[in-house]
A and B are shown apart, each in its own frame.
Chain A
Amino acid sequence: DGGITQSPKYLFRKEGQNVTLSCEQNLNHDAMYWYRQDPGQGLRLIYYSQIVNDFQKGDIAEGYSVSREKKESFPLTVTSAQKNPTAFYLCASSNTANTEAFFGQGTRLTVV
C-alpha cells in the first residue's frame, strides 16, 4: 500500500526527555512537512523539507529538530527545550509545489 505512516500513534514522555516521532512515506514525494495541532486549533508548521539533507524552519520550530537523510523519512525530535510539547503531531508529504499533500494519521504526544 502506498501512503504515509506515522508512529507511534500515542506517545507518553516524562518532562525533560527528548522524544522522536517517526514519519515514513513510500509515495516517492520530494516534500515533507511536520505540523502541530492543539485542541480545537488549526495546524501550525514546525519544519518542512523539499529535498534530502535540506530543511527549513516553519512558524514554530523552537524546541524541535528534524533530519532528512533519506527521501522517504523525516523524523521529528521534540526536545526538552519545547516548553509545552503535549499536542497532536501530523506529518505530510507532497510531490511538487502545486499538488496536494497527503497526511499521516498523527501521533498524540502527552508529557506526564
Chain B
Amino acid sequence: SQQGEEDPQALSIQEGENATMNCSYKTSINNLQWYRQNSGRGLVHLILIRSNEREKHSGRLRVTLDTSKKSSSLLITASRAADTASYFCATGRITGGGNKLTFGTGTQLKVEL
C-alpha cells in the first residue's frame, strides 16, 4: 500500500503564484523527501527533511514536517512554467532489511503563462 497520500491530486496555477502540496503518511519515519518527475522520465530529488526537523528551505522550495500529524507540505514560491511536473513525497523508514523508501500518489502541477 502507498505510504504517502498527496493532496491535491492536480493543481493549476498562474506563473508567479505560489504552489502548495501536502503529503500525509501512516507510519513512523526517519525522513521525508520530495521528488519531481517530468512526463515519462526518472525522478529528480528536490529536498530531504529528517524526522527531527520541522522546516527546511532550498531556493524557492520550503518544506515543513509535522510528525505528530504525520504530514508534510511542499511550497514552491514564485512558480514558473518550467515547474510544471508531477511532485511526489517519499518516506524513508529504516527496517530490519534496510532503508525502505516508499512514495506517495503524487500531485500534478501545471503552471500557466
Contacts and interface: CB of A to CB of B under 8 A. Distances in A.
Interface string B78-113: 000000000010101011011111111110000000
B1 interface: yes
Nearest to B42: A103
The 10 residue pairs across chains A and B that have the minimum distance between CB atoms: A50-B98, A56-B97, A103-B42, A100-B45, A43-B103, A97-B99, A42-B105, A103-B43, A105-B42, A42-B106
B92 A98 contact: yes
A50 B33 contact: no
Interface residues of B, number: 31
Interface string B33-51: 1010000111111001010
A59 B88 contact: no
A99 B101 contact: no
A43 B88 contact: yes
Contact of B98 (A42, A43, A56, A106): A56
Given A42-B2, A101-B45, A106-B41, A56 B95 contact: yes
Among B6, B42, B94, B95: residue with most chain A CB under 10 A: B42
A56 B40 CA distance: 27
